[in-house]
Amino acid sequence: MKTAAEYEESLRKLNLNVYQFGKKVENVVDDPIIRPSMNAVAATYECAHMAEYEDLITATSHITGKKINRFTHIHQSTEDLVKKTKMCRLLGSLTGCCFQRCVGMDAMNALSMTTFDIDAKYGTEYNKRFLAYLEFVQENDLVCDGAMTDPKGDRSLPPHKQADPDMFLHVVEEREDGIVVRGAKAHQTGAVNSHEIIIMPTISMREEDKDYAISFALPSDADGITYIMGRQSCDTRKLEEGTIDRGNVLYGGHEALVVFDDVFVPWDRIFMYKEWDFAGQLVEQFASYHRQSYACKAGVGDVLIGATQTIAEFNGAQKASHVKDKIIEMNHLNETLFCGSVACAAEGHKEQSGTYLVNTLLANVCKQNVTRFPYEIARLAQDIAGGLMVTLPSEEDFTSPEVGKWVKKYFKGDDSVATEDRMRMLRLIENITLGTAAVGYLTESMHGAGSPQAQRIMISRQVNLKQKQKVAKRLCGITKDDE
């Protein structure tokens, strides 16, 4: 397993084509805006070597029997699934942001099942290819960026009817040694911190869409791949001197548009090729795993609740009954998020491939809660923090020879607390609820792993309403069976 330092060094060896603010980024690792997100991924390596976290963040490979990072593991039991949930919460609490490795882990687990099932129907060798790839990932302890979301273009049209066929990533040429693809993947969390990128279809497909029903993996710096970094609120604060206004001074996240401009993919890296009838299965299995992964929001919630309790004390408001009750409510909502993830893991089952899959109904219930509860937790945090969170002057004003003395004087709360400490805590709450971390805590809670409606559709499919009607009828004495 790599150390954090070895991970950083491995990124320096990549030749990524990255653009930010219209200019090419020559040094991705040390770029001040991108660097905090790299630090968050590095934490997944660092913690794997710490005795107190070893049980959660490491596992035993079912291929080689070696000790590996859990982010490269294929779940072999419900215990593995539960440990994944606890790992996600732990790392969310340690970083206060998205640590970016879940999506690759979830993609590999989904592919371990879908490739097995395709082979069973069509006699292909995708699973053999995938397992060889998986061993490569485990042996080198790689970060994989799972890429599912296409730009989609006109949402009312399937891929093959789009005015621009590149709105969904697709095959444009077949060669003796592989294929050539064109298109893009959007909203890619941790893209430029990854060694590999794993492509999956984004929706269920029809036969007419078979050129879009593809899954493969490539090195993140393969020829023809370009990354365009997304903006985040308050992101340029990382370019300023000082650290107070950043909020989270250690970690962060990032997203990118990943463009595939006629990119070559060798056959041994392809795990689905025009098997359109399995696209929906891969999407649903990946989505179920990734909806479980949102236990990370409970971890970030831990940080936000801790910050809120602290700012209440710094403000001298911690004894107010309504403040106490609001913090109780924040904890209630946060633990409910965690319960959903634990439940879908504990109720998981073994698939034909040998991989354990979460309970898909409960995974979707978990994520549906995630689309709502973090917003209420954030609202309560802002309520308790007060308006100063968004009207606070800058760190430059705080250190100014001319006006710094007034900032220190008039933004004092509890007299035993330094004004700087109060400012830092307010900025952390701002960071999580409005700033760069809000991408990972709020908007990602809404749209990550599928929009809220996607989970509602899955819940409607998974719930057995007929059985619920049957038990209700029996209890009230209706004996006629309408079925």
Of 46, 275, 284, 444, which is the active-site residue? 444
Contact 380, 308 (CB under 8 A): yes
Choose among 105, 98, 103: nearest CA to 80.
105
Of 8, 46, 196, 255, which is the active-site residue? 255
Conformation bin of residue 106: beta by default, left when phi > 0, alpha when psi is -120 to 50:
alpha
Of 144, 290, 355, 371, which is the active-site residue? 290
In the residue annotation, 402 being an active-site residue is answered as no
Of 7, 126, 251, 294, which is the active-site residue? 294
Choose among 275, 260, 262: nearest CA to 173.
262
Of 72, 95, 189, 433, which is the active-site residue? 189
What type of residue is 327?
A: I
String of DSSP letters for 67-128: EEEGGGPPP-SHHHHHHHHHHHHHHHHHHSS--S-HHHHHHHHHHHHHHHHHHHHH---HHH
Of 47, 88, 97, 102, which is the active-site residue? 102
| Structural tokens at position 452 | 């809220």
Of 144, 296, 344, 366, which is the active-site residue? 296
Token pair 């940080």 is at which residue? 303
In the residue annotation, 290 being an active-site residue is answered as yes
In the residue annotation, 189 being an active-site residue is answered as yes
In the residue annotation, 366 being an active-site residue is answered as no
**360-369 b/e (C-beta count within 10 Å ≥ 16 → b):** bbbbbbbbbb
| Structural tokens at position 299 | 């971890």
In the residue annotation, 336 being an active-site residue is answered as no
Contact 88, 296 (CB under 8 A): yes
- How far is it, in rounded angstroms, from Cα 181 to Cα 312? 54
Spell out the residues 6+ positions from residue 157 whose beta carbon is closer than 8 angstroms to its own. none
In the residue annotation, 344 being an active-site residue is answered as no
Of 47, 97, 98, 144, which is the active-site residue? 98
Spell out the residues 6+ positions from residue 217 whose beta carbon is closer than 8 angstroms to its own. 133, 144, 196, 197, 198, 199, 269, 271
- How far is it, in rounded angstroms, from Cα 391 to Cα 304? 19
- Give a three-class secondary structure readout of 371-406: CCHHHHHHHHHHHHHCCHHHHCCCHHHHCCCCCHHH
- Known catalytic residues are 98, 102, 189, 255, 290, 294, 296, 444
